[in-house]
Amino acid sequence: MKFSRFTAILITIFILVLPALPAWAYPLDGEPYTGIGRLEGYLLAQEGKARAPRQPPGAMLSIDKVCPRLTGYKNIKLPNPDPGFTAQIKKLLGHDAGNYGIAVLDISNPENIRYAEHRGTIDHNPGSVGKLVAATALFQILADIYPDDIEARLNILRTSMVTADRFINTDSHKVPLWSYKKKKMTYRPLKTGDKASLYTYLDWMMSASSNASASMVIREILLLTSFKYDYPVKEEKIAAFFKETPKKELSELLSRSLQEPLIRNGFDIEQFRQGGFFTWQGKQIVPGTSSRANARSLMQFLLLIEQGKIVDEFSSREIKRLLYMTQRRIRYASSPALNNAAVYFKSGSLYKCKPEPGFKCSKYRGNVRNLMNSAAIVEFPANDPRLHYMVIVMSNVLRKNSAVEHQTLGTRIHRLIESNHLVNEKSLKNEAFPKK
């Protein structure tokens, strides 16, 4: 493709990457517990009563089986990297090793955990992985308001209705909209006026990775922080709050609401933080700061989730359930080697292109910037795990399809962990399904 000199000067593409199809989360039998409507649709699809893709064996765990698995090992700390294990992981990266930050924690035997880390403290833009911070902040403020009342927290999540407003502008991520009456699922970006429960918006943020939903969740965090027991707040009062509160005060509220929960949960916000809203309009209404993360800090987050120490055990459990992949697996999690595994996953990507002779820009394939971040907890096989490990991959490999690179790495890391434990996948392939 040829570019004029004028065009070459003017054209630059900077795109917050959208997945071709989103990857939904939360156990499929969780609708009665959460009120998240699309779960009913996907569950009916597995019974042939609605249209939706069939799930791999590892995605069929029931809600009671998805919970933190290291609550009896709360004193475990992230160990120093094991040189031999690190060398094995680094070898998998080949010539591109210098463009990765990676951390792998094998907790299959909690009495003898192994940790590998390569460029683990290199700063990256977290992209959508930063939505983990928003989830943490939401559960933290709920715990602060209702410290001894889990049911009250659940009631807020289930019954508080959120109406999309200008904070959603602009975002093209599609969210699943389930019609209980028609038993039909439709997919489209959020529109102003769309109304759903806070739990549903939280699910859309974590599973469909909707930036619009994430911005609405952050809006609700600010409202919860400000109004506490008077939440939920009527729309007229919400509009007045954001109109009449000085922008400087709103920015301070945003910083306090997103960053203090991280500090209280043991994080250094110079290593890991989400600076603000995920939409352009949200950033205009309430200015924030920069976002950052590295492989080591994200691994610390996953470890604390498994220990039940992000806020508390209830909050850690719900965040883990929100990460459980129960629809189309993408990127790292789409590795065929993980079909029989339960995968808890969040991903984010960002790429930038410029004109280059002989090069065609496409999704996940930038030639200026090509960031891809994957955070995963893997339990294999799903129903009775022999392998339990966590992976953080943060890459910037130019001109290669980073989604495919992460998928391939997912296979290689699983085979390595498998060989280290001498597990034969073929003998376990039918054990991913829950036994009844």
**Residue-level pLDDT at 184:** 86
11 or 350, which is more confident? 350
Report, as an integer, the average pLDDT of 14-39. 68
Q: Please, what is the average pLDDT of the chain?
A: 91
The predicted-structure confidence for 366-376, as pLDDT tens digits, reads as follows 999 999 999 99
Per the DSSP assignment, residues forming a β-bridge with 178 are 185
- The mean pLDDT of 231-243, rounded to a whole number, is 97
Rounded average pLDDT over 278-297: 97
| Banded model confidence at residue 3, pLDDT cuts 50, 70, 90 | very low
Task: Please state, as a whole number, how many other Cβ atoms lie within 10 Å of the Cβ of residue 182.
Answer: 8
pLDDT score for 25: 67
Residue whose structure tokens are 């499929």:
28
3 state SS of 98: helix
Q: What is the pLDDT of residue 14?
A: 37
pTM of this prediction? 0.90
Which of 192, 183, 127 has the alpha carbon at shortest distance from 164? 192
The pLDDT tens digits of the residues spanning 251-266 come to: 999 999 999 999 999 9
- Look up residue 279 and give its two tokens: 């939409």
Q: Are 180 and 37 in contact (CB under 8 A)?
A: yes
**24-38, 109-123, 134-148, range with the lowest pLDDT:** 24-38
pLDDT at 72 > cutoff 90 = yes
pLDDT of residue 15: 37
Q: Dihedral (C-alpha) 99, 101, 103, 104: value to the nearest 10 degrees?
A: -20
% of the chain surpassing 90 pLDDT = 79
Average pLDDT over residues 386-392: 98
pLDDT at 429: 52
Higher pLDDT, 173 or 303: 303
- pLDDT grade, residue 42 (50/70/90)? confident
Q: Residues 116-125: what's their mean pLDDT? A: 97
Query: Average pLDDT for residues 287-305, to the nearest whole number?
Result: 98
Nearest Cα neighbor of 273 from 281, 265, 284, 283 is 265
Q: What is the pLDDT of residues 200-224, one digit of tens each?
A: 999 999 989 999 999 999 999 999 9
**pLDDT classification of 428: cutoffs 50, 70, 90:** low
Q: Is the pLDDT of residue 267 over 60?
A: yes
Instruction: Evaluate if residue 317 carries a pLDDT over 80.
Output: yes
DSSP string, 280-295: HHHHHHS-----BB-H
Statement: residue 282 has pLDDT above 50: yes
Query: Smallest Cα–Cα separation from 104: which of 425, 412, 312?
Result: 412
Of the CA atoms within 13 Å of residue 364, those in its CB half-sphere come to 19
Question: What mean pLDDT do residues 117-121 have?
Answer: 98
- The pLDDT score that the predictor gives to residue 142 is 99
Per-residue pLDDT, averaged over 30-41, amounts to: 90
